[in-house]
Structure 1
């Protein structure tokens, strides 16, 4: 009986570690920034007050980056999705309009660094924004998100 339990546990462990549904993907670090140099974030975009969102000035910053360091147990695809609030539907509540989705292939690693960027234009980009990180296999499971304001 004991040999059967040990054999069952060994088979179950093998199935669970090789099954794609159980692949682990974790955002270890993330940063909004103005540039990425040597695979590291440069000129971080942060809030000056803990109760406020980070603010980006479209006239000074032509693009912003979301830099991520991701731990993955196997090769996977993560998606950086950039959204902007759509003020035209304010009577129904804030609505986020997808601006761009960027798929990034991640190799198995304890800290695979990757990033995406979006362009900002004065007079067009102003408003509330959000960027999320999901996997292509499970887009409803948000691994990371950051909200910010563009002025």
Structure 2
């Protein structure tokens, strides 16, 4: 079952059960997916849907940081609840050892040898690790690996 179909099924289940919070978040996700499809005139596959979900989680994490700085714990809690609903649809996060293994494999594939090859290496890693790892962490590990 595709991710979009799973979202639709979960939206119907949330309507039937009266889970207004999950229903609202799933509708936001579906709207973001539909907006991207309309803007780019394409049908999103699961990888692209995961990228949309990742972006939504990142936006909400940024909002949580801002709300906490402004001492608005009530709004931060709402954002955290939305993050937990969105994360149900993301693949499990990889550990550091798994990320390092993926980096080593990509180095073997691309022949990257130094810091100048970082862009090429990140381009190879991004589609493989999308939704499974924080790309900021991956970038830091790649930089460490290529400089060391």
TM-score range, shorter chain: under 0.3
Q: Could you say which structure has the higher strand fraction?
A: 1
When Rg is computed on C-alpha atoms for both structures, the one with the higher figure is 1
Give TM-score scaled by structure 2 length: 0.22
Higher relative contact order (CA 8 A, sep 6+): 1
